[in-house]
């Protein structure tokens, strides 16, 4: 190969097994051979982790080197000649394998990893047929790493991938190599388990059966399961998953590599939430309530009654007396059909924005809410303002990328009502009362606009006049202004904020002035899809504005309607104002619920319950926060008589004689919606709207909190193993030590939380870093069910 | 971090001075280099052994992951993680001493003290450290280290003499 490549200075030419290949200068041999599809056996090497070179399995024969060298730790050099299958290489590899097997049990048939074990595979390829080792093998005591990860540490070969992952990627070094020599074990030493929100990835990384999935354990063999793609149903990043299923049951969920989204990792929430599918309270048959009693009925009866309920409401009270709420994690197809059904009946009330506090800018916003910042670009940001969110809780994959950015030197500032346990060094966390969030952001804008009178949008200066920019605002403004590659992430707290519109609006001004990109991190897996499919009251399918918008999710609950149609949510847990939702549903004449689970609340307020498929049980599509359309098949039939929701909606459409509900497959619906959307691009700009005031002057304490990490939707709330993790067992309410003293509350004590007429008993935790006057209380917990707004007045008293 | 495990509440001023002395020897990016002398200082001030809280305090004080401190403390036999006697006796059993008869020295000590390796005499006087590897005095094997002092060319009589002198 004499032809010179353009970037010759950046590459070197090496010869591997007689074939010349180009390799990146400074790359390790194994990277070059991997890129050239030449397989070198390995255990400890992983391209996303640091190099440990401790398993020695990748020994190869390098010309002129006195002995075989580890391919993972040998940098390429121009003209290097490498043989991976020479006698010397094979002998070295065989020798290493023999040593690795000295202490490893040879009982693959009883090991959960059997059939998908790297050690088993490589032992077949590189090992001897018979072990020459007849002495005693060592035995290692198993440690309880928590409800997600099962251990069999005798099988561990000390590759340290788990140790390096938790340290380098998860940012929570909880495992280490304790002891030394023959006594070395991989352990936490303190036996408090592993609690990272990304911990499940060590199951995939473990090349042997030492770390396996506890919920999946011994329930199927790798070779008998089928594997199909799926997309995360929990957050807007759209993490790519693969479902392994057997005989119509989802057995486990693993990552599907997608470098631009989740790389090769997934959050524990995406990995273990499938367990919720098999919780005890699945709705397995259609049910109708007659004289206060629930009866199982056939589909025809149930659908007939559902149609009758809706038709009667429209006939007696007019179409606007009907409202529909759909989970922001429902599929595009479900949203589209529900939207058309509701509009076909003449109603305009449909919404998926169940946790949104402020809708006043909905008309002005782009066709769908999205991030102007591709996820992969987060790694390269140098200054980030995370406003109103805890990415570690809300979007673990985004948090992982933010962490990568900090490892490259990025400085990340957090503004939220309370500070969070962030797993990387932060530039600052600034606990800010929700009432002060607007004024703070406005002050940041003012600082940036100083000396630029023309840049001030209408009315902003007059408003700011009352609230001088403080030191913090100046500091944040300077940080953004001085940055070459800044971004503002607006989290779920902005979505839930009663003045979210002003926050979004000001963020745009800051972004323009500081040349920052804005990422609006949306709720659920498919809020963007809801806007595109017409599951919002102000947009029709395709993203176009409607003439007369219907009621938004909040209004539908605050101005009670006569009938409701719900899909895939539990309003008493999931709605912005759960108390209002419960009251509205309980007063309604009829409530039709399409649901996977038989929730407690719906048994009280619903009239017809229609069982529909959950995660993995329906085909469909999600639109991620990047505007990425991702479709997936249904891999398991819904339990009992359950049906995919799009089919239920299709039949309802037919029964109610709405035109054009004759679909045979869900991809016909997908194509139809995509056709309506055309080539819509991600937009984040929105015009400035003059706010009436900046600072709300509240009295007393304010509750603030968005959905807990394992509490954001009905599926994850039922995932048993996740619910047993320390992250799910945080106190219901977090307050600062000052407030705790004032109220005479101790850490772990029980308090009465009251919002309006509703009160609940909640366990109190006391932490530093909660803004004054704030009671931090995430939604989705048993204690928070049925309470008032996510952000709103609250009283707290000793119980 | 709860108040009890804050470094300033667990590490005495003297110990912190000692750790600071070592920290000053390394660039600020290499603070964790001070972990071994820091653990020594803490161990010496705590009757010769380390506790979880103390290791956590060291980790927090020199700003390194707690797990990494546990790794160091469990790796080196010079750190003890359980209460020990007033004197630590380390008999080298590595190859050179072994060839020179360290096995006999070990059994003699065990008999004499009535305890096995890794155990402490009931009067809390002496701990026989478990499986001590090469202590870098091969020319004088068999040898042992008692409270940091080297004793070479051991014979049972010589061992008795040394052990008897320990209070």
Q: What is the interface pTM, i.e. ipTM, of the complex?
A: 0.90
* CB atoms inside a 10 Å sphere around CB A247: 10
B75–A176: do the CB atoms touch at under 8 Å?
Answer: no
B52 contact A CB<8A:
yes
User: Which portions of chain B are predicted below pLDDT 70?
Assistant: 1-8
State the first-to-last Cα distance of chain A, in angstroms, to the nearest integer: 80
A177–B71: do the CB atoms touch at under 8 Å?
Answer: yes
Collect all residues with Cβ–Cβ distance below 8 Å to A123 and sequence separation of at least 6.
Answer: A97, A101
Buried b (16+ CB within 10 A) or exposed e, A532-563: bbbbbbbbbbbbeeeeebbbbbbbbbeebbbb
Nearest to A186 by CA among A165, A214, A210: A210
Tokens of A157: 């070969």
Residues of A in contact with B3 (CB under 8 A): none
Collect all residues with Cβ–Cβ distance below 8 Å to A612 and sequence separation of at least 6.
Answer: A567, A568, A594, A595, A596, A618, A638, A642, A643, A644, A645, A648
> For position B9, what pLDDT does the model report?
76
Q: Are A694 and A467 spatial neighbours (Cβ–Cβ below 8 Å)?
A: yes
A176–B68: do the CB atoms touch at under 8 Å?
Answer: yes
B71–A188: do the CB atoms touch at under 8 Å?
Answer: no
Residues of B in contact with A177 (CB under 8 A): 71
3-state secondary structure of A480: helix
**How many angstroms separate the Cα of B89 from the Cα of each of B47, B78, B93?**
15, 11, 12
| Residue written as token pair 């957090």 | A414
Candidate from B68, B74, B75 with C-beta closest to A173: B68
Dihedrals phi, psi of A574, to nearest 5 degrees: -100, -15
> For position A465, what pLDDT does the model report?
65
- Minimum distance, in Å, between the CA of residue B116 and any CA atom of chain A: 19
Q: Are B125 and B86 spatial neighbours (Cβ–Cβ below 8 Å)?
A: yes
Q: Are A177 and A183 spatial neighbours (Cβ–Cβ below 8 Å)?
A: no
Chain A CA closest to residue B56: A190
- Please give the Cα distance from A651 to A304 (Å, whole number): 10
Candidate from A167, A178, A180 with C-beta closest to B70: A178
> For position A7, what pLDDT does the model report?
52
- Minimum distance, in Å, between the CA of residue B160 and any CA atom of chain A: 31
Tokens of A294: 């629930």
For an interface test with B, the pick among A184, A189, A409, A423 (most B C-beta atoms closer than 10 Å) comes out as A189
**Continuous segment of H or E residues that includes residue A527:** helix A527-533
A179–B70: do the CB atoms touch at under 8 Å?
Answer: no
Residues of A in contact with B74 (CB under 8 A): 178-180, 189
3-state secondary structure of A515: coil
A189–B70: do the CB atoms touch at under 8 Å?
Answer: yes
- Minimum distance, in Å, between the CA of residue B75 and any CA atom of chain A: 4
Q: What is the pLDDT of residues A726-757, one digit of tens each?
A: 999 999 999 999 999 999 999 999 999 999 99
User: What is chain A's mean pLDDT, rounded?
Assistant: 94
> For position B24, what pLDDT does the model report?
96
A180–B75: do the CB atoms touch at under 8 Å?
Answer: yes
Q: Are B100 and B60 spatial neighbours (Cβ–Cβ below 8 Å)?
A: no
For an interface test with A, the pick among B58, B67, B75, B77 (most A C-beta atoms closer than 10 Å) comes out as B67
Strand pairing category for A176-178 and A19-24: unpaired
- Please give the Cα distance from A405 to A426 (Å, whole number): 11
Q: Are A294 and A286 spatial neighbours (Cβ–Cβ below 8 Å)?
A: no
B74–A178: do the CB atoms touch at under 8 Å?
Answer: yes
A178–B52: do the CB atoms touch at under 8 Å?
Answer: no
A173–B71: do the CB atoms touch at under 8 Å?
Answer: no
> For position B2, what pLDDT does the model report?
47
Residues of A in contact with B68 (CB under 8 A): 173, 176
A175–B75: do the CB atoms touch at under 8 Å?
Answer: no
> For position A131, what pLDDT does the model report?
86
Candidate from A173, A179, A180 with C-beta closest to B65: A173
- Minimum distance, in Å, between the CA of residue B73 and any CA atom of chain A: 8
> For position A690, what pLDDT does the model report?
76
3-state secondary structure of A764: strand
**Continuous segment of H or E residues that includes residue A295:** strand A293-296
Tokens of B2: 């709860």
For an interface test with B, the pick among A190, A195, A768 (most B C-beta atoms closer than 10 Å) comes out as A190
Residues of A in contact with B75 (CB under 8 A): 178-180
Q: Are A528 and A368 spatial neighbours (Cβ–Cβ below 8 Å)?
A: yes
- Please give the Cα distance from B125 to B118 (Å, whole number): 13
A179–B67: do the CB atoms touch at under 8 Å?
Answer: no
User: Which portions of chain A are predicted below pLDDT 50?
Assistant: 1-4
H-type helices in A622-730, by residue range? 645-655, 666-677, 714-717, 720-723
Tokens of A619: 């085909």
């Amino acid at each position: 190969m004499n032809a010179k490549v353009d970037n010759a200075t950046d590459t070197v030419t090496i010869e591997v097994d007689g074939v010349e290949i180009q390799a990146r200068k400074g790359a390790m041999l194994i990277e070059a051979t991997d890129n050239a599809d030449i397989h070198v056996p390995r255990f400890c090497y992983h391209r996303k982790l640091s190099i440990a070179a401790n398993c020695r399995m990748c020994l190869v024969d390098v010309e002129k080197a006195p002995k075989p060298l580890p391919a993972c730790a040998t940098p390429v050099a121009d003209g290097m000649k490498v043989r991976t299958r020479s006698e010397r290489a094979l002998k070295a590899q065989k020798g290493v394998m023999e040593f690795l097997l000295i202490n490893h049990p040879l009982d693959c048939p009883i090991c959960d990893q059997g059939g998908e074990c790297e050690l088993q595979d490589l032992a077949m390829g590189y090992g001897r047929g018979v072990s020459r080792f007849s002495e005693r093998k060592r035995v290692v005591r198993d440690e309880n790493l928590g409800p997600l990860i099962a251990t069999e540490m005798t099988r561990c070969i000390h590759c340290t991938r788990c140790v390096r992952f938790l340290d380098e990627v998860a940012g929570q070094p909880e495992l280490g190599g304790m002891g030394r020599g023959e006594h070395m074990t991989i352990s936490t030493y303190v036996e408090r388990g592993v609690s990272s929100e990304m911990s499940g990835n060590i199951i995939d990384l473990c090349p042997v059966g030492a770390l396996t999935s506890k919920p999946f354990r011994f329930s199927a063999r790798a070779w008998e399961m089928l594997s199909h793609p799926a997309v995360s149903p929990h957050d807007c990043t759209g993490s790519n998953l693969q479902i392994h299923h057997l005989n119509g049951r989802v057995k486990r969920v693993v990552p599907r590599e997608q470098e631009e989204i989740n790389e090769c990792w997934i959050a524990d929430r995406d990995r273990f939430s499938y367990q919720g599918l098999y919780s005890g309270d699945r709705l397995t048959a259609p049910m109708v309530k007659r004289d206060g009693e629930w009866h199982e009925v056939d589909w025809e009866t149930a659908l007939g009654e559902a149609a009758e309920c809706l038709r009667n409401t429209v006939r007696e009270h007019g179409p606007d007396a009907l409202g529909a709420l759909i989970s922001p994690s429902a599929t595009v197809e479900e949203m589209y059909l529900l939207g058309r059904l509701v509009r076909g009946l003449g109603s305009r009330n449909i919404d998926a924005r169940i946790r949104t506090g402020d809708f006043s800018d909905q008309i002005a916003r782009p066709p769908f809410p999205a991030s102007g910042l591709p996820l992969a670009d987060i790694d390269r940001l140098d200054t980030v303002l995370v406003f109103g969110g805890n990415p570690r809780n809300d979007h673990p994959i985004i948090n992982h990328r933010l962490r990568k950015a900090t490892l490259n030197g990025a400085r990340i500032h957090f503004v939220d009502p309370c500070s969070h346990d962030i797993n990387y060094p932060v530039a600052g966390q600034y606990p800010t009362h929700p009432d002060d969030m607007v004024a703070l952001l406005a002050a940041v804008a003012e600082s940036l606009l100083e000396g630029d009178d023309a840049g001030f949008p209408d009315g902003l200066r007059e408003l700011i006049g009352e609230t001088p920019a403080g030191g913090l605002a100046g500091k944040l403004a300077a940080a953004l202004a001085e940055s070459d590659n800044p971004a503002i992430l607006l989290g779920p707290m902005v979505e839930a904020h009663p003045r979210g519109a002003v926050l979004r609006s000001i963020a745009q001004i800051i972004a323009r002035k500081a040349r920052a990109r804005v990422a609006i991190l949306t709720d659920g897996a498919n809020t963007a899809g809801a806007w595109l499919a017409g599951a919002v009251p102000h947009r029709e399918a395709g993203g176009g504005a409607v003439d007369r918008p219907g009621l938004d999710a909040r209004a539908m609950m605050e101005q009670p309607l006569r009938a409701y149609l719900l899909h895939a949510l539990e309003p008493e847990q999931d709605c912005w104002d759960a108390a209002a939702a419960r009251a509205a549903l309980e007063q309604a004449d009829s409530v039709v619920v399409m649901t996977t689970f038989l929730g407690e609340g719906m048994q009280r307020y619903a009239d017809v319950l229609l069982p529909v498929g959950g995660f993995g049980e329906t085909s469909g599509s999600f639109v991620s926060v990047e505007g990425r359309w991702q479709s997936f098949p249904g891999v398991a039939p819904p339990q009992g008589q359950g049906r995919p929701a799009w089919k239920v909606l299709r039949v309802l459409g037919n029964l109610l004689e709405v035109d054009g509900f004759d679909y045979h497959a869900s991809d016909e619906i997908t194509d139809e919606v995509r056709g309506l959307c055309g080539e819509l691009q991600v937009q984040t700009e929105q015009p400035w709207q003059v706010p009436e005031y900046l600072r709300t002057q509240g009295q007393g304490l304010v509750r603030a909190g968005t959905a807990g990490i394992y509490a954001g939707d009905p599926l994850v709330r039922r995932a048993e193993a996740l619910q047993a993790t320390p992250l799910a067992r945080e106190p219901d309410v977090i307050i600062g030590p000052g407030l705790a003293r004032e109220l005479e509350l101790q850490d772990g004590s029980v308090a009465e939380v009251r919002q309006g007429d509703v009160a609940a008993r909640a366990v109190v935790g006391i932490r530093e870093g909660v803004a004054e006057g704030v009671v931090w209380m995430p939604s989705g917990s048993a204690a928070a069910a049925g309470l008032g707004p996510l952000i709103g007045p609250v009283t707290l008293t000793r119980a | 971090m709860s108040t009890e495990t804050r470094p300033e509440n667990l590490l005495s001023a003297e110990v912190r001075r000692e750790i600071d002395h070592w920290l000053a020897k390394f660039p600020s990016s290499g603070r964790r280099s001070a972990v071994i002398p820091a653990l020594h200082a803490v161990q010496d001030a705590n009757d010769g052994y380390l506790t979880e809280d103390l290791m956590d305090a060291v980790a927090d004080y020199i700003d390194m992951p707690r797990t990494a401190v546990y790794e160091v403390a469990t790796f080196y036999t010079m750190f003890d993680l359980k209460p020990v006697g007033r004197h630590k006796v380390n008999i080298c059993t590595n190859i050179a001493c072994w060839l020179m008869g360290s096995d006999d020295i070990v059994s003699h000590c065990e008999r004499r003290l009535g305890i096995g390796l890794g155990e402490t005499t009931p009067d809390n006087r002496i701990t026989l450290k478990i499986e001590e590897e090469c202590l870098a005095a091969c020319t004088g094997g068999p040898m042992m280290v008692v409270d940091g002092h080297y004793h070479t060319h051991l014979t049972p009589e010589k061992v008795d003499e040394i052990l008897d002198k320990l209070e």
